[in-house]
Amino acid sequence: MNKKLNNRRGGEDRSLKAVPRVQAQVLGAEAHPMLLPEGAKRREGAEKQGWKLFSEDVRRGRFFALVGLVFLMAAGVSFATSPEYVVQSVTVEGSKVLSLDQANAIAGVQGANIFTVDASAVQARLAEKAALLKGVKVETRLPNNVIIHVQERKPATVWVIGDGTPLLASDDHVVVGYATTLQGFVTIFDRGPMTDTLEIGKPLPVHKADAADTAQQIYLTLPEASGLQLRQMEWSPDDGVTAITASGQRIEFGTGEQLDQKIKIVQAVVEQSEKSGQAWTALDVRSVDRPTIQR
């Protein structure tokens, strides 16, 4: 009985002692992974060189990307050096005052490569040097065309400053140049200080711009309403706008406020004068409540 028990215990002890040895072997195998020989690594790297490396680049698109880059560089060189893309001259559309010679001189793009033309810079130069141009748009078209689209200002009045210089002002009150004639324009003689000056390419001062609008309205409406023919218009800081008739009569309007009522007063005075036969030399309607008349 004891022998059997001992035999059993001995067997169990032997089986238990065998387990740690198996675990130790497994752990030992995990702790020491298999390493490739150094020569094998070199052979693997060598296999990726040459044709196989080229094939891999083709599969990944690297080769075609390089080819495309080469073509783009070649095309860029061609565009930059080809005479086909050199601007010969500009074309002007929508302008009656800007000649081709003037446009070429101001634009400054003749002989330049079409791809180097800065349209915004050309527009700025034209707007700065050509006061009659209200709007400018510069367009480039391949292979070598530069087109200038122009919207012009409309000359409306002639403002004669104190020293007698006639300056042409547009309908949006910009001084656009010197007037070569007074015919066809509302002419305003400035009776203000001789030191007052106006600059070409710059807008009229606000008070003079308002005076120009008032003078135009008087010039268009007064003759029809009263039968008076106008010879010229004057402006001064104190009296505002004054209309002078062909017979020398002076009508002081001041500003454009209540202009319709002022013209009605002039109409009534003219009608009364014709009925009574009494002539008058000056009429002040700057105040519609207290107009005055000089005979």
* DSSP sequence for 83-102: GGGB---EEEES-SS--HHH
Q: Which amino acid is at 194?
A: M
d(CA 159, CA 209) in angstroms, rounded, equals 10
Residue 5's pLDDT is 45
d(CA 30, CA 74) in angstroms, rounded, equals 59
Residue 80's pLDDT is 52
d(CA 88, CA 111) in angstroms, rounded, equals 6
Nearest to 90 by CA among 74, 102, 78, 79: 102
Residue 99's pLDDT is 85
d(CA 105, CA 8) in angstroms, rounded, equals 118
Cα 135 to Cα 62, 101, 131, 152, distances in angstroms: 49, 19, 10, 7
Residue 69's pLDDT is 55
Six token digits for residue 292: 């005055």
Q: Are strands 133-141 and 145-152 parallel, antiparallel or unpaired?
A: antiparallel
Q: Look-up: residue for tokens 């009508």?
A: 251
Q: Phi first, then psi: what are they for 200, rounded to 5°?
A: -65, 135
Contact 261, 288 (CB under 8 A): yes
Q: What stretch of H or E contains 47?
A: helix 38-47
Q: Positive or negative, the Cα torsion across 153, 162, 205, 221? A: negative
Q: Look-up: residue for tokens 């929508």?
A: 94
Contact 177, 155 (CB under 8 A): no
Please give the chain's pLDDT, 295 residues, in tens. 444 444 444 454 444 444 444 444 444 444 445 555 555 455 554 455 555 655 665 555 554 555 555 555 544 445 455 778 899 889 999 887 788 898 889 999 989 999 899 999 999 888 888 888 888 899 999 889 999 999 989 999 999 999 999 999 999 999 999 999 988 899 999 999 988 889 998 999 999 999 999 999 999 999 999 999 999 999 999 999 999 999 999 999 999 999 999 999 999 999 999 999 999 999 999 999 999 999 8
Burial 194-206 (b: 16+ CB within 10 A, else e): eeeebeeeeebee
Beta-carbon count within 10 A of 70 CB: 10
Residue 56's pLDDT is 60
Give the SS3 label for residue 277: coil
Six token digits for residue 184: 């066809």
Q: Are strands 230-236 and 250-254 parallel, antiparallel or unpaired?
A: unpaired
Q: Phi first, then psi: what are they for 238, rounded to 5°?
A: -85, -40
